[in-house]
Amino acid sequence: MSNQTQLAHAIRFLAMDAVQQANSGHPGAPMGMADIAEVLFNHHLSHNPKNPKWFNRDRFVMSNGHGSMLVYAALHLSGYDLSMEELKNFRQLHSQTPGHPEYGYTPGVETTTGPLGQGLANAVGMALAEKMLAEQFNREGHNIIDHHSYVFLGDGCLMEGISHEVCSLAGTLGLGKLIAIYDDNNISIDGEVDGWFTDNTPQRFQAYGWHVIEAVDGHDPAAVDAAIKKAKNNTEQPTLICCKTTIGAGAPNKAGSHETHGAPLGEDEIAATREALNWSYKPFEIPDEIYQGWNAESKGAALEQSWQDAMDAYQQDYPELAAELSRRINNELPADFDAKMNAYLRQVSEDAPQMATRKASKLALEGVGPMLPELFGGSADLTPSNNTFWSGSKHINGGDFSGNYLSFGVREFGMSAIASGMSLHGGVIPYTGTFLMFSDYAKNALRMAALMKIRNIFVYTHDSIGVGEDGPTHQPVEQLPALRMIPNMHVWRPCDAVESVAAWHAAIKRSDGPTSLLFTRQGVPHQARHEAQLDLIAQGGYILNDCNQDPELIIIATGSEVGIAAEATEELQNKGHLVRLVSMPCVEVFLQQTPDYQNKVLPHHCRRRLAVEAAKSDTWYQFVGLDGAVIGQDTFGESAPGNDLFAYFNITTEAVLHKAKALLA
C-alpha cells in the first residue's frame, strides 16, 4: 500500500466515523474522492493553513457539498484551525463542521455549497475574478495575481441546469485556470443514474470549448496527478477531469451502492472496512506519520512569504497599483467615498431630474463608477433595458479581460451565482441586472448570497405592472415581497433619482449581505426635499411630507407609488386634514433603526395608516395593523399600456384619496 493511499484513508475513516457519530451525513462521496483530494491538497493546491485568507491562494470549492466531511477532513489534516473535537461535533449545533460547508463557519471553506451546481457556478466566478484582476494588476515580471480555482462536482451538479449556464459561459470566456474534477461514480440518492442521466458528459463539455481529460482512474494517485498537471498546462481553456470512482470506496459490502450516499455505514460495515483496508486505529485516531504526510503548514507559509516578497518588489516598482490592490484585498472603500456620494446626492437633488428609476440607476452609476474601479457589472441579455452599462463600462470579450462589464446572456441563475463567486474571491464588487420578474429564476443564488453575508448587488428593473404591454408573464406581483422574505436581503425600491442614488450608496457601503435594487420602467416625478431629508433616506424610511402636527393619517408608499401618494397627500392637506407621507424605500433598513426613530416616523398613537405599493400587499400589514388599509396588487396583471393598468387595478391618486377619506371618516 502506497503512502498516498494511507493518507487518503485518513479522509475515509474520518468521514465514516464523523457521519456514524452524528448518525447523519454522506460518507460515500468523501470515501470515493479521498484519493483525488489527497493528490490535490498535498501536491497541487497552493494554500497556507495558517492564513486561510491569503489572497493569492488557490480556491477550492466542493460543489457536491453533501460530501462536506471530505473538506473538513482535508482541512484538519492539512493543519487548518479545525480541531478533532470539531470533527467529532459534525452536524451539531454551533460546530465548525455543519452538514454542508458554510462560508464564515470553517477556516478554509471558500463558499457555502449544498444546493447542487452553485458551487460550480461560484468557482466560475472566482476564476473570472482572478483573470480580471491579473489583467488589471499584473505587469511584466510581476505576476501578483496568479492562482487556480479548483472545484469538485458530482452527477447531481451536472444534472442541475445551472451547470449548463455557467460552464457554457466559462468555455466561451476561456477561463484557463478553472479546473473541475468530476466524481463520476454513477450513483445518486435514487440509485444508479443510468435511468435518468445518460448524457455524454465529455462531449458536452468539449462542445462548450472546455479541455476534457477523460477516463481517469480516480483511485490511482499517479493518474490523478498527471491529469491535474495536464490541466494546469492548458491556460487557454477551463478543464474538466472525468474521474471514474466508486462511491463508498473501501467499504467491502456497500461500496458502489447508493446506500453509502446519504446514510451512516453502520458499526459493522465500518469495522469490516477497517479490516479490509488494514486501518488499525480507533475512531478519530490519526497517527503522527499521517499528520506529517498531510502537513501543509511549512510549505504554505513559504508560498505566502514568496508572494509577499513579490508584493514588496511590486510595491517598489508600482506603488500606486500596489496601494489600490491592497485596498481592494482589504475590502476597503476609498476614504472619500461617503463624502463624494453625499455631494453627488445633493447635486442630483438640485438638478431635480424626472425620469424612470431604471434611468436614475444609470445616473447613480455615473456617480459611483468613477470612484470604484473594482465595480463590475453585467446583465442577462437586458443591458439596454436594465441601464446597467454606464459611460465608464467596458465589455469583457475577445479575450480582453481589462474591462469591467460582461453580457452574461440569458443566464439569470448562473449570472447571480457567478457574481457571488466574484464577491467571495475578493477585489471585485459585482452588480448584475435583469427584470424583476426573472429574479424567480435566480432565487436560490440570492438566498445563498444572503446566507453567506456577502456584498452582491442585484439590479432588477421593470418592477411592477408598469411594465405594461408585455403582460402578466413579465409583470412582477409577488417577487418584491418574496425578496423581502429572504433573511439578510436588503430590498430598495426608490421613488425617484435622489432615492436611487441613496440606494446605490447604501448597497455599496453594505459589507454584511446582498442588496436588491428595484427600478421602474416608467417615468416618475421628482420629490422635493430639504437638506435634512436627504440624509434620512439612508434610514430606509423617512417623512417626505409632514403636516407639522400630530398626524391623523399616515400614508406609506414606495417606488412609483410615492408619486400618486404625494398628490393625494397634498390634496388632503389642502382640505385641512392632518396627513403625513412616509417614503419607505427599504423596509429592512427601516426596521433596523432605533425604536425612537421608528416611532418618530410612524407614531404608535396614529393608527390610521394607508400603505400603497404595486405588489402583493402582505408586507404592509405589520405597519398598518387592523385599523389601516393597503392598496396593492394582489392579482396577476394584464397586457395593456402601464397607465391603463394602474387605472384598471385601482392604484391611482383617486384610489388613495378614496381609501384615505374612508379611514379619516
List, in sequence order, the alpha helices (H) in 234-335. Answer: 267-276, 288-294, 297-317, 319-329
Would you say 604 is a known binding-site residue?
A: no
Pairing between β-strand 609-612 and β-strand 553-557 as defined by DSSP bridges? parallel
Would you say 385 is a known binding-site residue?
A: yes
What's the full length of the chain, in residues?
665
* Listed residue (390, 534, 386, 532) closest to 462, CA to CA: 386
> What whole-number distance in Å separates Cα of residue 35 and Cα of residue 4?
8
Would you say 9 is a known binding-site residue?
A: no
Phi, psi of 398 (to 5 degrees): 60, 25
3-state secondary structure of 179: strand
Amino acid letter, 194: D
> What whole-number distance in Å separates Cα of residue 81 and Cα of residue 430?
30
Would you say 114 is a known binding-site residue?
A: yes
**How many other CB atoms are found less than 10 A from the CB of residue 179?**
27
**How many other CB atoms are found less than 10 A from the CB of residue 665?**
5
Burial classification of residue 155, based on how many CB atoms lie within 10 Å of its CB (0-12 exposed, 13-18 middle, 19 or more buried) = buried
**How many other CB atoms are found less than 10 A from the CB of residue 510?**
16
Structural contact between residues 47 and 57, judged by C-beta atoms closer than 8 angstroms: yes
CA-derived radius of gyration, the chain = 28
Amino acid letter, 495: C
Cβ contacts of 541 within 8 Å, gap of 6 or more: 556, 582, 583, 584, 585, 586, 587, 589, 590, 593, 601, 602
CA 546 to mean position of chain CA atoms: 39
Cβ contacts of 532 within 8 Å, gap of 6 or more: none
> What whole-number distance in Å separates Cα of residue 265 and Cα of residue 277?
15
**How many other CB atoms are found less than 10 A from the CB of residue 372?**
17
Would you say 66 is a known binding-site residue?
A: yes
Structural contact between residues 446 and 516, judged by C-beta atoms closer than 8 angstroms: yes
Would you say 358 is a known binding-site residue?
A: yes
Please spell the DSSP secondary structure of 282-294, one letter per residue.
Answer: PTT---HHHHHHH
The DSSP output letter for 466 is: G
Helix (H) or strand (E) holding 356: strand 355-356
Grid cell at residue 40: 490535490
Grid cell at residue 23: 448518525
Would you say 220 is a known binding-site residue?
A: no
Active site residues: 412
Would you say 116 is a known binding-site residue?
A: yes
Would you say 625 is a known binding-site residue?
A: no
Residue with cell 487556480: 148
List, in sequence order, the alpha helices (H) in 377-473. Answer: 383-386, 412-425, 439-452
Would you say 462 is a known binding-site residue?
A: yes
> What whole-number distance in Å separates Cα of residue 361 and Cα of residue 389?
10
* Listed residue (329, 365, 412, 376) closest to 132, CA to CA: 376
Cβ contacts of 598 within 8 Å, gap of 6 or more: 590, 591
> What whole-number distance in Å separates Cα of residue 81 and Cα of residue 94?
16
Would you say 351 is a known binding-site residue?
A: no
DSSP H helix total and E strand total for the chain:
27, 20
How many alpha carbons fall within 13 Å on the CB side of residue 511?
9
Helix (H) or strand (E) holding 579: strand 579-583
* Listed residue (379, 345, 540, 355) closest to 460, CA to CA: 379
Binding-site residue positions for thiamine diphosphate: 66, 114-116, 156, 185, 261, 438
Binding-site residue positions for Mg(2+): 155, 185, 187
Binding-site residue positions: 26, 66, 114-116, 155-156, 185, 187, 261, 358, 385, 438, 462, 470, 474, 521
